Structure 1
Amino acid sequence: MAKTKQKKKKSNKNTVDSEILRYVIALAAITVTLIAALQLGIVGQFLTTITRYLFGTYYGVVYGLCLLGGLAVLFGQKFPVFSVKTLIAIGAVLVAMILWSAIPQDPQLTGFKVFSEYLSHTGEHFSSPSTVAAQGGVLGALLYSLSSLLFARTGTVLVIFALLALAALLMIKTEVYVSLWQSLTGALHREKKPKPKRSKRETESDSLEVAAEERKVIGTVELGKKKKKSIFLTPDDEPAAEEELPSPVVKKEKKKEEKEKPAAEELPKVVSVGSGAGAVNYKLPALTMLDEIQAKSRSVLNQNAASIKGKKLIEVLGNFGINAQLVATHIGPAVTKFEIRPDSNVKVSKINAISDNLKMELAARDIRIEAPIPGRNAVGIEIPNVETTPVKMLELMRQLPEDKKDKKLLLALGKDLMGKGIFCQLDKMPHLLIAGATGSGKSVCMNTIITSLLMRTSPDEVKLLLVDPKKVEFTPYREIPHLIGPVISDGAEAARALKVIVMMMENRYEVFAQVGVRNIAGYNEKIAKEPQPNLQPMPFIVVIIDELADLMAVAGKEVEMSIQRITQLARAAGIHLIVATQRPSTDVITGIIKANIPSRIAFSVSSGIDSRTILDHVGAERLLGNGDMLYFPIGEPSPVRLQGVYVTDEEVKRITDFVSAQMKPRYEDAFIRLEGVDNNESTAVVSAQDDPLYEEVKDYVIETQKASTSLLQRRFGIGYNRAARLIDVLEERGIIGPVQGSKPRDVYIKKPDVQDDEEEN
């Protein structure tokens, strides 16, 4: 222990000595530069004479560079520093200027003569410098003598222009040149040739423009243990992270009038919905319906703040006797994560114990400590960013994993601290619990999940049952064709609807047993290969409950029992449950519900007890709100912190209006009226005034002049009870006649009489 303490004292002393030496060197360089530039005294005049003799006319530029370098060494990261590329560019410009000044006006003079003549006037340069032309100095004369010998006078001029071009290329991004070249060539050929279609690769590059720009900020910054810190370290020189993100080609955004057509993958995809005469060509919403990603300049503010706080963090830990190294810094959309590696003799619990002190010293709104990071010998300390970058739905839709694009229940959640898009596959989870305080982002997360399903699936592939006790959360989705039943707002009806879902699950298992398959994937595959007239492909059913607490208050035992049956058995039947609540207490999220829903999302909560109720871990009480979440999927050892996707109300409205305009919802008979569900009468239907298909059925009967129960079943894909009730209502209203044995029913209203009939009613 004594030896360890001595080593620590020596290392601290060496650090202090190096800091003092750095300040001394910087101050000495600045002082000498100012004395020489201002020609103060004999020393200043002598230094100016030497500098002028070496560099010629541009000796003042050398003074400016020395002054900037001294300030950079003195202030470190607080002063604008130069990258390696910038230094090379400055050197190239300086050499070009000196070389240009050294070129003689007389083209007959060779480089060797110029150099010899300059050396012959060396004494005059020091005795009476004002009488001798400085030109490019002795360095310029030497460079010109070598260049003229190798390339001649004209070649030297070309070398100068090449050096200037090199400096421009290093100082300005390559994309600017590409954009200028495209603009020039486009202006020349715009009238000659029609505009070519955009290639897929170009479209993908354009679509990832902001993603690439943002990843420069959100990406990981490794701080190597062995690598020395350079005073000229900038974001250009930052080493890559362990999991380096790809850097797609970045293109400059074109003007609105020059925008080309969107890529094929962003256009609406057409799929066939239904079968037989009732088949409809259904178009999936295009990505263009989502808000464009706003081009945002690179956030230097977050980077500078992360650099300062990283050093401050190590300093504060040292004040509490915790010696640690900063291993890596991950700048995410809303939070920066610092990975520190404490000495082997430091207890991890000691770091957790000083969390409030760290919060105060770093002036942070809140911090979260992950001690240790699973699978790594490091501790994660998460601190809020100065600026928050919103995560848009369009960006994640363009980043769908290639191997999962055909998965119908793939949902976009958000971005992790590495800037990587996070998706969840609902059929693998297979159910999800979402909890958080009011205003923490829970409702936006629900909108994101529903929007993900609407963007990628047709009504034949996924059906939704929405339970909305608040009566306002799911209002935009009341007319979407994916609904299996009306949006339910009453707690008692919701409990009955869950019983219907249980019955549907049991019916599906009976069909699976008859067909000889084990799950919905095997059933749909077999039906596709071996079509049968009395069997149709089954869609996935996703039940989304917005507020579980209201249901538990109305019918707690029934709801808990139905949720237990669904979560235990419904996975193979293709039925999945998403439950949300803003009251994460044990009387709402019971032990039975937690045991059967292993995948969970926690938003900001008020206490660590609520966090343990949701996740069985603390940490959610440290979240920031506004979409900041902990995602704890099944099979993971610890939660993952994400910034959730932000979907605006305008985006939701555009998508719902688009899908609703193509088809009307076709409800299952069992969800039309739920009064008889308690007595297992799950096929009850509603009167004509409430049936959404009544008007469509009435128009169809008048148009075709045919009416029968079996015809309505085939045409509209509904059950026998509902079709029979619609026929009875049409008969009661005088639209069709009574049954005439084996003869078809008469249709009393002919096509020309439709308008008159509506006026009479």
Structure 2
Amino acid sequence: MNALTVQQIMSSRFRTSANADGKTKALMEGLGLSTKANVARLAIGRSLSGGPLSEDAVDAKGLEIPATSLFTQNDVATWVGLLATHAVMHGGTPVDSMDSFRAAIRGHWHRGATLLMNDWQDVNEDYDAFISMLLNRRADLPATKSEIHARPGADAAPPAPSEDISKQLVKALGDIGVNAEVKGVVHGPRVSRYRVLLRDVNQLDRLRKGLERLALALNLQNMMPTLGPSDEARTVALDIPRPRVSWINAGRRELEAALNSVPRSESTLEVFPGQGVTGRVIHFDLAAAPHLLVGGATGQGKSVCMHGLIVSLISRHSPDTLRLCLIDPKQVEFPVYSGSKYLWNDDVASGITEARTAIDALVVEMDNRYAQMKAFGVNNVLDARRKAGGFPFIVAFIDELADLIIQDRTVESKIVRLAQAARAAGIHLVLATQRPDAKTFSGLIRSNIPSRIALTVQKSSESQIILDDTGAQDLLGRGDMLIKRPGEELERGHGFYLSLMDVEAMI
């Protein structure tokens, strides 16, 4: 190691900046870690995944920690190698003496603590989501040769790592006339969220209008970056899609973990459509929604999304508190649930005739429930359940609503009536379509279905019908979605992938 020896390092003490020291202590408390060294290792590793360190001086006013807390005899050489390699790769000061080694530790700890704090805040200080983010980053690293050959299909190439393109992004922003600085990055399941500081806030409109040119400058092919708010003054969140080979797809195991992360309640209809951009679990109460429209082009994940919602509900309720009215005009989507003890009226309504009959029966059930509730002196289904028992939630999933309305125009007025009045009776609608158009989805239906999930569509006009906003035409497919809930900003998510075998196993 030239002038740098393991003995020198292990007998030394190290410190970071006062600013990073404060963030380290805050992360210790938030993550329940016992020493600053635990956070320091995470911070240094986090910084090593980034580009060159800033040339700005970093003070050394943080409290000291001994090298024996930060390293072990077995791993110290690895840390030296990582720090030295990073300096060589990015043209930094060579790490070949104790002074340069201390400076490298101080600089990476300083930067990494800030990046970790940004990560922690990006997941709303959710411990499980933060750990999941760290695990996903580990999964993004290229596999070693021994790991590749230990797997089935050993000749297959490992997924590409999540690459930090901060330098390229700053240059590309400059190419479109936006002077900016990247303050941090979080690699989510499919996109990387860059926290971008605008040096001139008057350039925000230029950035918003220049996203297509930014995509071209970054060579994103047909993928579009998206712009969102940040929680820091003068900063924005810029979501940059990654190549498909680096995607982390969540499936049955991740959905089961999500279901177990939220306490069960028989008074809510919690559903889990997917993970957010940073890997945080997305869930909401369908009972408060109170109805949901799901739309997307063929093959973009609508059916899988519907199954995920149904499995969410079944996993958290008994048949005493939940019944499913499954309406399947094309007779292809819901056969897997035939015979389920959760089925309302004990069957899946297949075909146009049965679909019409089921919708009529829902209207009758709503009217009957209101009559009973009036007799009990209550005005909602939960009070009726507590007073007299029974009154399970009924969630009606209606697939291919557009086809159903085209073949029977009388259905529309009944669905509108249910959407307007069924909530207090404990009846909730989930409507789905592959063909969103203004003729089949009238303004009356859309105005009474306030919650929406849009998967990838072909045209901005279709996105407008589903979300009352554009954006779904630029999604990545394969379960990529935009979620709209009353009074909240659009949220991007990536759906849990469930095969029919997964669905069968979970129900």
TM-score by length of 2: 0.71
Normalized per residue, the structure richer in strand is 2
Q: Structure 1's 506 and 456: CA in aligned 2 closer, same or farther, altered over 3 A?
A: same
Segments of structure 1 that go 5 or more residues without pairing to the other structure are: 1-32, 38-50, 59-74, 81-90, 93-161, 174-227, 251-293, 528-535, 657-761
Number of the residue aligned with 1:435:
295
Q: Offset at 1:514?
A: 0.7
CA separation of 1:76/1:591 partners in 2, compared to 1, >3 Å: closer, same or farther? closer
Q: Deviations over 1:539-598 (max 9, x none)?
A: 111110111111111112x22111111111100100000000011111122101110000
What does 1:228-377 correspond to in 2, within 5 Å? 230=107, 238-241=115-118, 242=121, 243-246=124-127, 297-300=138-141, 305-307=162-164, 309-365=165-221, 366-370=223-227, 372=229, 377=234
SS in 2 for 1:613: helix
Distance 1:237 1:501, change over 3 A: closer
Q: 1:460 deviation in Å?
A: 1.8
Q: Which residue of 2 aligns with 1:554?
A: 407
State the Cα deviation string for residues 660-706 of structure 1 (Å, max 9, x = none): xxxxxxxxxxxxxxxxxxxxxxxxxxxxxxxxxxxxxxxxxxxxxxx
User: SS in structure 2 opposite 1:646?
Assistant: coil
User: Which of residues 333, 342, 350 in structure 2 aligns to 1:489?
Assistant: 350
What residue is the counterpart of 2:72 in the other structure? 166
Residue in 2 aligned with 1:135?
none
C-alpha contact 1:348 1:371 (8 A) present in aligned 2? no
- Percent of counterpart pairs with the same letter? 32
Secondary structure of 2:343 counterpart = coil
Tell me: higher relative CO, structure 1 or 2? Use CA pairs within 8 A at least 6 residues apart.
2
Counterpart of 2:323 in structure 1 is 463
- Displacement of 1:507 after TM fit? 0.7
Matched with 2:257 is: 398
Q: Please tell me whether residue 509 in structure 1 is matched to residue 353 in structure 2.
A: no
Aligned partner of 1:326: which letter?
V
Query: Take 1:608 and 1:374, find their aligned partners in 2: how far apart are those partners?
Result: 29
2-structure distance, mates of 1:506, 1:375 = 50
Distance 1:383 1:478, change over 3 A: same
Compared with structure 1, are the counterparts of its residues 456 and 232 closer, same or farther at alpha carbon in structure 2 (3 Å cutoff)?
closer
Aligned partners of 1:549, 1:459: CA distance in 2, in Å? 30
Aligned to 2:417: 565
Query: Measured at CA, do residues 77 and 435 of structure 1 come closer, stay the same or move farther in structure 2, by a change above 3 Å?
Result: closer
- Asked if 1 retains the 8 angstrom alpha-carbon contact of 2:265 and 2:316, the reply is no
User: How far apart, CA to CA, are the structure 2 residues paired with 1:592 and 1:296?
Assistant: 45
Distance 1:549 1:249 in 2: 40
User: How far has the Cα of 1:235 moved from its partner?
Assistant: 6.7
Question: Shift of the alpha carbon at 1:403?
Answer: 5.3
The answer (yes or no) to whether the contact 1:467–1:487 under 8 Å persists in 2 is yes
Hey, what's the Cα distance between the residues in 2 that align with 1:374 and 1:77?
22
The answer to whether the aligner puts 1:542 opposite 2:395 as a matched pair is: yes
Whichever residue aligns with residue 292 of structure 2, its letter is L
Take 2:452 and 2:233, find their aligned partners in 1: how far apart are those partners?
24
Does 2:379 align with 1:518?
A: yes
Q: Look up the match of 2:12.
A: none
Q: Greater CA deviation, 229-238 or 348-357?
A: 229-238
Structure 2 CA distance for partners of 1:564 and 1:163, relative to 1, 3 Å: closer
Using the TM superposition, give the Cα deviation of residue 343 of structure 1 relative to its aligned residue in structure 2, in angstroms. 3.2
Rounded to whole Å, the distance in 2 between the matches of 1:408 and 1:442 is 23
Q: CA offset at residue 604 of structure 1? A: 0.5
C-alpha contact (below 8 Å) 2:420/2:448 kept by paired residues: yes
Three-state SS of the structure 1 residue aligned to 2:349 is coil
- On the 8 A contact 1:469/1:488 being kept in 2, the answer is yes
After superposition, give the CA deviation of every residue in 1:495-545 in whole Å (9 maximum; x if it has no partner).
232121111100100000111111110011112xxxxxxxx5111111101
SS at match of 2:486: coil
SS at structure 2 position matched to 1:544: strand
Unmatched 5+ residue regions in structure 2?
9-47, 54-65, 80-104, 143-158
Q: Which is higher, the Rg of structure 1 or of structure 2?
A: 1
Query: Secondary structure of the equivalent of 1:298?
Result: helix
**Counterparts of 1:249 and 1:644 in 2: how far apart (Å)?**
19
Alpha-carbon separation, structure 2, partners of 1:244 and 1:382: 20
In the superposition, relative to structure 1, how do residues 652 and 310 fare at CA in structure 2: closer, same or farther (>3 Å)? same
Q: Does the 8 Å CA contact 2:137/2:162 hold for their aligned counterparts?
A: no
Whether the 8 Å contact between 2:455 and 2:480 is mirrored in structure 1 is yes
Measured after TM superposition, the shift of residue 480 of structure 1 is 0.6
Change (3 A) 1:523 1:455: same
Distance (Å, rounded) in 2 between the aligned partners of 1:164 and 1:355:
43
Aligned to 1:382: 239
CA–CA separation in structure 2 for the residues paired with 1:590 and 1:502:
20
Select which of 471, 485, 491 maps to 1:640.
491
Structure 2 match to 1:618:
470
* Conserved? CA contact 2:252–2:502, under 8 Å: no
Q: Quote the Cα distance in structure 2 between the aligned partners of 1:372 and 1:572.
A: 35
Give me the whole-angstrom Cα distance separating, in 1, the residues matched to 2:370 and 2:77.
67
Q: 1:164 to 1:495 in 2, by over 3 A?
A: closer
Aligned length: 402
> Aligned-pair distance for 1:368?
3.2
Residues 315 and 303 (structure 1), Cα distance of their counterparts in 2 relative to 1, 3 Å cut: farther
TM-aligned CA deviation for residue 339 of structure 1: 2.6
Counterpart of 2:466 in 1: which secondary structure?
Answer: helix
Contact 1:542/1:575 (<8 A) preserved: yes
| Aligned mates of 1:388, 1:466 — CA distance in 2 | 33
Aligned AA (1:421): V
Correspondence for 1:270:
none
| Separation of aligned partners in 2, 1:589 and 1:248 | 37
**Contact in 2 for aligned 1:333/1:643 (Cα 8 Å):** yes
Distance in 2 between residues matched to 1:374 and 1:249, nearest whole Å: 17
CA distance in 2, matches of 1:314, 1:559: 53
Give 3-state SS (helix, strand or coil) of 1:538's partner: coil
Q: 1:649 aligns with which of 486, 495, 500?
A: 500
1:435 deviation in Å? 0.3
Supply the distance in 2 between the matched residues of 1:405 and 1:172 (Cα, whole angstroms). 48
Aligned partners of 1:469 and 1:491 also within 8 Å: yes
Q: Residue type matched to 1:353 in 2?
A: K
* TM-score, with length taken from structure 1: 0.48
**1:482 aligned counterpart, secondary structure:** coil
In 2, Cα distance between equivalents of 1:551 and 1:172: 63
Question: For residues 246 and 372 of structure 1, do their structure 2 counterparts lie closer, same or farther at Cα, with a shift above 3 Å needed?
Answer: closer
* Rounded Cα–Cα distance in structure 2 between residues aligned with 1:79 and 1:370: 25
Offset of residue 470 of structure 1: 2.2
- Please state how far the C-alpha of 1:446 moved relative to its aligned partner: 0.6
Contact residue 330 and residue 351 of structure 2 kept, 8 A? no
Instruction: Give yes or no for the alignment of 1:424 onto 2:284.
Output: yes
SS in 2 for 1:364: coil
For residues 274 and 290 of structure 2, the distance between their equivalents in structure 1, rounded to whole angstroms, comes to 19
Alignment deviations for residues 255-310 of structure 1 (CA, whole Å, 9 cap, x no partner): xxxxxxxxxxxxxxxxxxxxxxxxxxxxxxxxxxxxxxx99953136996542x22
- Distance apart, 1:653 and its partner CA: 1.9
| 1:295/1:350 CA distance change after superposition, 3 Å | closer
